[in-house]
Structure 1
Amino acid sequence: MIYDTLDAFLSENKDRLALGPAAGPIAMVFVEDGVEVDTTLRHHLQAGFKMLVAFMPDRITLPEDVEKTIHRVSYAMTEPDALTRAVNRVIKAAPGAWLYYCYNGEYLFHPFCETRTVGEMLTFQTEERRNAILTYVVDLYASDLGAYPNAVSLEDAHLDKSGYYALARPDPANHGHPKERQLDFFGGLRWRYEEHIPAKRRKIDRIALFRAKEGLILRDDHTFNDEEYNTYACPWHNNVTAAICSFRTAKALKHNPGSTFDIDTFRWHNSVPFEWHSRQLLDLGLMEPGQWF
């Protein structure tokens, strides 16, 4: 289905979105350019989302088989706060549903995703009485920028096997003391090339999988106004986490005139080929199954 506006999508799917848990899980993909749009959509369709909504410019074309299986919304990502405005509109329209969001060139991986769907993971998380799943945005990049000048290649994709760390997240409302069960995570290209990344954009944690509810608001730093949604675990044990493997930072660093000439290669001694398998991410500690075995 194709919709001229977000309002049209919400109006025509009002009854379905109002089904609560039965409406989801719903994936929202925000398309910024024409890079790997079809592979992003196919990946998330195969992950098991019941509905996939692509917010994208009219100029981008899709393969016919993909176009038939998604909800395409004409949307300009160049507008201020474009992502948060759309996500918050969907949150309001679909209370109780599990939602997910990402950009094109990003691929969700969760523990055992080769044999278990995202819906199965979210069912487990619901049984754990958790309403959100922390995801780490793991930077991908082509190792040969001569062959792939935009730093994007599925066949030549690499990632950093180390260099990730976490810092306590201070609470301004509590004299700067650390927030309970919340951390700011760093690493990847945003850490190695931090001089080209604004400080507020250097974190790699994102609450990308969450359950909508009345009054919930996504903020522009990828956190929510409900602090429990921003926690990495419940008080009594660790919870499942997931990873979003993303070319977005590498693509931006090579597209930006202020950084592209400073970068001949993204490879360093801790680069390894990406295997496109959850086992590699689990072994590297970039996600964990928690109590889900």
Structure 2
Amino acid sequence: MSASTIVSVDNLVKRYGSLTAVDHLTLNIGEGEVFGLLGPNGSGKTTTINCILQLLSYDHGQVELFGRRATPTSYDLKRRVGVVPQEVAVFNELSVRENVDAFCALYVSDRARRRQLVDEAIDFVGIGDFEKFRPSKLSGGLRRRLNIACGIAHKPELIIFDEPTVAVDPQSRNAILEGIQRLNREGATIIYTSHYMEEIEQICTRISIMDAGRTVASGTADELKSMVGTGEKINVGCSVPDEATLEAVRSLSCVRAAAYASGHLLVECLAGDHNLSDILGVLRDRGVSYGRVLSEPPTLNDVFLEITGRELRDEA
């Protein structure tokens, strides 16, 4: 393992009876990365994270943190890790400041040092005006930001964010994402899970897609897009084409699907350099007048659905 590797998971297996939740998973996360961990419900993301944190025993494999093998009693390693869980996990009977202090006290015993760290964490997430409030008096976005302050107050080198923007308003989501990027610029390595593909594409330097407990694809967003046949989506405002014209468009080698609705020809393409000119050429040859043309590049969401399928998954 490279000296700059912060997390190394080697051949990890976790079973629950006959169910294999994590199936010989291997991944490495380098220092300074914002690593996106994606997967449909039940793909093994949360189980993997809990194994990395040594909160779950596992059947096979090894986890290393900061170049050392991690065990349930590796408290010196755990002090270097921060966790922001999906569910807001704070004490309702404590104020905002008292909450941040309580979590920071798990890692920092010196009161003067802890006071400084609590001040910095509260200022970092922008909840200084609410430090005397109880969590029940805060909005959903402010509770999320309190959750983050509790997870980062001890200045961890590795921070795991598990769906930190669920059910928050756009302003809070933007503040959270900017905060995560700032933490990364200040030296923290980030593991980030989310079902919001645009967030993953916006902030992650590398992405791993899990399914059925395995890594099925890994790379940068651009690399993932190049791995599958998904290409651009083309929207052509045009007069009504006859069925023969639609079939001619569908028969193009670059076209995966084509349909006409409400004055627009909608075409899903494979990756290619001449998709638009080929489609417009068919329309011109068949006398179909057209106007506005939009071409949308493939998104990470397109890639995710292509790799993991479009079937609904049970929560697990």
Superposition TM-score tier, normalisation by shorter sequence: under 0.3
Give the number of the structure with larger relative contact order, counting CA–CA contacts within 8 Å between residues 6 or more apart: 1
- Is the helix fraction higher in 1 or 2? 2
* TM-score for the superposition, normalised by structure 1: 0.27
User: Which has the larger strand fraction?
Assistant: 2
